[in-house]
Each structure stands twice: as C-alpha cells, then as structure tokens.
Copies of this chain bind each other. A is one copy, B any other.
C-alpha cells in the first residue's frame, strides 16, 4: 500500500478526555475517532489491526474445533427473563423497545441466545461436546465510558460457548480453550499471563483471566518467577511461612502510647518495623456479633479471603467506632487480642510473630514484648487473610511471587448448568433420558486487545506494534523519490519484492521531508523501517532500522527480502 492510496490520519493534538497512553496514541496515530462517549469509528489504519486480531483469533478457534456462527445484537427480553438476567443485569444492559413496544436488549454477551440455539439444535449426546463461537459487536451502557476502546459502549468481542454431557467433557474443552487462548496471545506477540480468577457475577466455579501485562493495567497479578502459576492478587494464596516461631526474648510491658493509633505511628513510636506490630481489625459476623482479625502490621487484609470464612459477614463489613468502644472498651487504634471478648481469627503469618507490640484494649496503651502461648493463647482459628506481596513463596511451591499489572482481555469460565438449567437445555443421554447440558464460555475482547497491545508497547514517539498485529510490517521511506527517476525505480522494485513475498508494506510516497515520514511511521508504530536515498544507490544498500533499535544498519538490496523475513519470524 502507498500513503497516496492509504492516507494517514495522524494528528498532533491529544484529546482532552484521553487519560491513558493507548487512548492518546489511538487518536494521534489515526486508528479511531470518537463519535460519542464510548463510541468510536475505526479508521482504515486501526481497522487493519482489529482485523488481524480477529483473524488470528478465528484461526485458532477453528483449529480448536469451534464452529463459527453469527448471533444477533438485538436480543428479545423473553430469553433474558428465562434466566432472570433481565431483572438482575442492571443499567449496563442497553435496553430498547421496538415499534410494537416489545422489549429488547443489545447483547453484552450471548449466553441466552446460544442456550436457546443449543436446546433447539442439540438432541442427542452424540452431538456433544460442541463449541460455537462468534466475532461480533457487543454493547454495554457503561456509566462512565473511558480509556478509548478499553472501556467503551460498543466493542468487538470473540465469545464462545461449549456444551457437554458431563464435567469431564467440560474440563477437556476448557483445557483445550486454555491452550487455544495461549496460542492466540502468543501469536499476537504480547506478554501475557493466564491467571486464576474469581468467576464473578456470570457464575460458575472455575475460571481463568488472560491478562496482557502493562504497567498501566487495572489489575494486579501475582505470578511465580519459577513456574506457570499466576493469579489475581486477590485470589493468590499466602502460605503458612516456613520455619519456627522465634523464642521470646523480651518481657511483656504495658506502655503509654498517647495519640499513637496507626501501625505506622506505633512502629515509629517503638522504633521497630511494622512487621513487629500486630494489627487487630474488628468486622461483623454473620449473626451480627463481632469478630477480630489479626494480621502482621506490614500485611494488608484481603477482604475477599476474609468474607469467605464461615461466620464472617459477606460482603465484609467493618465494625463502627461505637461498636468497637462497646465491645473492646477502647477506641480503634488501641485494640489487641489480649482479653478480647469475641472470636479471633489470625492470619497465618501473624502466628509466627514473637516479641510483638499490640493494642492493650485501653485508650493510649499498647503492650510490647508480647509472645504467643506465654502471654496469650494462639487463636482457635488460623486462616489465610492477607494480600500476597512480592517475595512470598509461590502457592504452587515453585519459586517466589512477583507482582505485575495486567489488562484483562480474555476470560474462560466453566458455567456448569447455570444457564442450561434455567432454560431447560437438555439432550437425550446414552440411557435415553433427558439430561441438562453443562456449559463453558470463553471470551476475548477483540477491540480491547488493540488498546492493550499499545499499553504494553509504546514509547514517547508512539506505538510499538508486535509484527503480527502491526497494520503494516514494513515502512519504506524514500528520500526525495519525486526528484529522481533512478531512486523511484529502485524504491518500486524493493516495494514490489517485499509485497510479492507476502509482507505488508507501506510505501511513503508523500512529497514530505524524511523527518516528517519518520515521525509518522514511529507514531503509527511500524516495526521495521527502510530508508532509501540517492547515496544508497551508489552502494546498493538501504538503511534499515527496527522501531526499537538505537541505530540503523545498512542492508544490501539483494538481501532485503530475506533480511526482513528473518526479522518477522
């Protein structure tokens, strides 16, 4: 392609509403244009990237044996009423009425539609397992659309749904999809992690999120530096620390600590690490009484873990100051486990502390030199209550935990019978009896991936695409081609050879100076650049520079195709 036939739409201005790099760069590089809040047009350059994401996804889904269908965006309310989601989904579901006042929504997801299809099309266990997928436009009426196509109201998704006779078959397809997703993200050329995730409101017990790693990511991911283990930080288990509890070396003393409330204040007051202070938090129990949670001072409570403990109220709710004064006899900031009249749950790590400082349940007083067993019994319940931190042992026993930020771009779920039961999607099993099918569902945010790839790959000059997603793989920037027939002929020859080799080439045939071409090609993120001027004609060479290379290098005309091919492979 030539810029004369494929005009670039690069702009200098960054839109006022663009908060993150990918949003700014997608506008500046001319990939998208805003129509309304959270609603965009994909310009030709952006659409080329979107189509590459689609195509790689489609190929790998086909390879995994999934069948492509195309379901409608308009979904009748009746199907959503069958699963109860018409009432439950809330205002993110874009709803409308047709001219006959019948209710419809614009699908944010297609469980109801596919389950309706499956209950009509699938009759016998012999047709199972089966996986359908589509690449289709979805709608979500975000209260505050932002971050460009990262959180928009209209977007392209790949969604897939599988149907099974039993859990074993569901697990098999789930594993197959896990592998297909890994293949897809590897082909994108993106750094990613498959993380164990909570399944969220959509239901089901087992799920993984696929995250593209990027410093700007909304989610924190804990992963092992020595294995495949990765989990959302909220989900990662903090193991019981190895080793024994140290023996006491100090006596316990009651110390006046006026106005010292937080762990930070108390540890500074005693000139010790936060790790030597015990944190006591009071939360509500299910029966409306109170429960105390103990953590090492440098550890952070993980509310998701706490609220899953039997007896603790879910969602987690902290006791009010008044409730604490009544129950503990002091204000928050001086609470401690000694003499506390309520059930106590200790985080694993806190039980290995020795000579620690804790509140004395008297305002302005703390104990120092406290020791388990000698000064107070170990709490009856010991549990994993805290957020993992860098350096924790990996829960799978291999290596240590590293924490990185990620952008969720894929999600696979084992839905079980949530939708099939509600919609009576049954087949005849081998015994000739009706049997409700099990389901899995598997999503990839196609448009989101374009933004995530930019979050992962960019610098101050613009986008840095991986080879597989780049709108064009190679840019040819000829210097003063319009003034030299000889140069123009050579440029055309090289352009033709690269194109014939199946490489996506953009020839910049604009009458602009080289620096202008370079900054455009860097902004739009073309991974490989070839510069050719009159000087090169004498030596039969071009100047090659990769998007992230510090220096350019000379490549002989004769070697260009094989050189670029080696760079692309």
**A interface residue numbers (CB < 8 A to B):** 5-7, 9, 33, 35-36, 39-44, 47, 50, 65, 67-76, 79, 91-92, 94-99, 104, 106, 113, 116-117, 120-121, 127, 130, 137, 139, 141, 143, 153-154
With both chains docked as a complex, state the minimum distance between the C-beta of A286 and any C-beta of chain B, in angstroms.
34
A411 to B343 alpha-carbon distance, docked (Å) = 76
Which of B41, B67, B94, B98 touches A71 (beta carbons < 8 Å)? B41
> Could you tell me the distance in whole angstroms from the C-beta of A26 to the nearest C-beta in chain B?
13
Minimum C-beta distance from A330 to chain B (A): 46
CB contact under 8 A between A69 and B95, given known A7-B130, A74-B139, A76-B35:
no
Is the Cβ of A44 less than 8 Å from the Cβ of B69?
yes
Bound complex: CA A39 to CA B73 (Å): 9
Q: Which residues of B contact A41 (CB under 8 A)?
A: 69-72, 113, 117
What is the oligomeric copy number?
A: 2
Residues B94 and A94 in contact, CB atoms below 8 Å apart: no
* Residues of chain B contacted by A33 (CB below 8 angstroms): 117, 120-121
Closest Cβ of chain B to A80, distance in Å, is: 12
Q: In the assembly, what is the distance between CA of A116 and CA of B40, in Å?
A: 12
User: Which of A5, A74, A97, A130 has the largest count of B CB atoms less than 10 A from its CB?
Assistant: A74
Considering the complex, give the chain B residue whose CB is closest to the CB of A95: B96
- List the B side residues contacting A99 at CB < 8 Å: 91-92, 141, 143
The contact of A47 among B7, B47, B68, B97, by CB within 8 Å, is B68
Q: Which residue of B lies closest to A92 (CB)?
A: B99
CB-CB < 8 A to A50: which residues of B? 70
Q: How far is the CA of A39 from the CA of B75 in the complex (A)?
A: 8
Instruction: Kindly identify which residue among B5, B130, B137 contacts A73, using a CB–CB cutoff of 8 Å.
Output: B137
> Separation in Å of the A458 CB from the closest CB of chain B?
23
Residues of B within 8 A of A76 (CB): 35-36, 39
Residues in B neighbouring A141, C-beta threshold 8 A: 98-99
Report the Cα distance A489→B433, complex, angstroms.
37
Q: Name the B residues within 8 Å of A75 (CB-CB).
A: 35
How far in angstroms is the closest Cβ of chain B from A297?
Answer: 43
**Does the CB pair A72–B154 fall under 8 Å?**
yes
In the bound assembly, the distance between CA atoms of A6 and B127 in angstroms comes to 11
Q: Do residues B44 and A154 form an inter-chain contact, with CB atoms below 8 A?
A: no
CA separation between A9 and B104, bound complex, in Å? Answer: 27
Whether A113 and B143, one on each chain, are in contact in the complex, defined by CB atoms closer than 8 angstroms, is no
- Given A96-B95, A137-B137: A43 in contact with B69 (beta carbons within 8 A): yes
Q: Which B residues lie within 8 Å of A67 (CB)?
A: 6-7, 44
Task: A50-B70, A91-B99 are known; give 5 further A-B pairs, CB within 8 A.
Answer: A6-B67, A33-B121, A41-B117, A96-B97, A98-B141
Cα distance A121–B34 in the bound complex, in angstroms: 12
Chain B positions within 8 Å of A44 at CB level? 67-69
Alpha-carbon distance A92/B100, docked complex (angstroms): 11
Return chain B residues, CB-CB under 8 Å to A42: 69-71
* Alpha-carbon distance between A113 and B70 when the two chains are bound, in angstroms: 25
Q: Which residues of B contact A96 (CB under 8 A)?
A: 94-97, 106
Interface contact A9-B74, CB-CB below 8 Å: no
- Say yes or no: A35-B69 contact (C-beta < 8 A), given A9-B121, A99-B143: no
A39 and B130 within 8 A (CB): no
Please name all residues of chain B whose beta carbon is closer than 8 Å to the beta carbon of A127 when the two chains form the complex: 7
Question: How many angstroms between the C-alpha atoms of A79 and B35 in the bound complex?
Answer: 9
Closest to A126 in B: B7
Given A35-B113, A72-B40, check contact A5 B65 (CB 8 Å): yes
Some 11 contacts from A to B, beta carbons below 8 A apart, are A5-B65, A35-B71, A35-B76, A39-B72, A39-B76, A41-B72, A95-B96, A96-B96, A96-B106, A98-B153, A106-B106
List B contacts of A120 (CB < 8 A).
33
Q: How far is the CA of A72 from the CA of B38 in the complex (A)?
A: 10
Most buried by B among A6, A41, A44, A106: A41
| Contact pick for A153, options B74, B92, B154, CB 8 Å | B74
CA distance A75 to B40 in the complex (A): 10
A260 CB to closest chain B CB (Å) equals 47
The 10 lowest CB-CB distance pairs between A and B, nearest first, are A96-B96, A42-B70, A36-B76, A44-B67, A91-B99, A39-B72, A41-B71, A72-B154, A99-B141, A74-B154
Chain B residue nearest to A132 in the complex (CB): B44
Q: How far is the CA of A73 from the CA of B72 in the complex (A)?
A: 13
